[in-house]
Amino acid sequence: MTFLYFDPAMGAMIVQAIVAAIAGVLLFSKNLLLKVKVFLGIIKPKNEEGLFDDIEIENSEIEKKDSSDS
């Protein structure tokens, strides 16, 4: 019979993987449920443009810098 040797580093890696998997599932499911609720009309999005248009490219700092250099 072969026994596996787990040192403290291996135990820490296993715990870290479990915590990361749980956090990933929770965050993914929260975002997914929010999008489904908005799609079905159960809740209203915060702004009138929609939930998926969070970034305004027109007002970004990079674009302002590029237009002022010309």
User: Residue 2: inside a domain, yes or no?
Assistant: no
Cα–Cα–Cα angle for 25, 29, 34, nearest 5°?
155
Q: Which domain holds residue 47?
A: 9-69
pLDDT (0 to 100) of residue 47: 59
Contact (CB, 8 A) for 45 and 38: yes
pLDDT digits (tens, 9 = 90+) for 9-62: 888 999 999 999 999 999 889 888 888 888 888 887 765 555 555 555 665 566
Query: Would you say residue 48 lies in a domain?
Result: yes
- pLDDT value of residue 4: 77
- Residue 21: the pLDDT is 97
- How many residues in total does the chain contain? 70
The total number of structural domains in the chain stands at 1
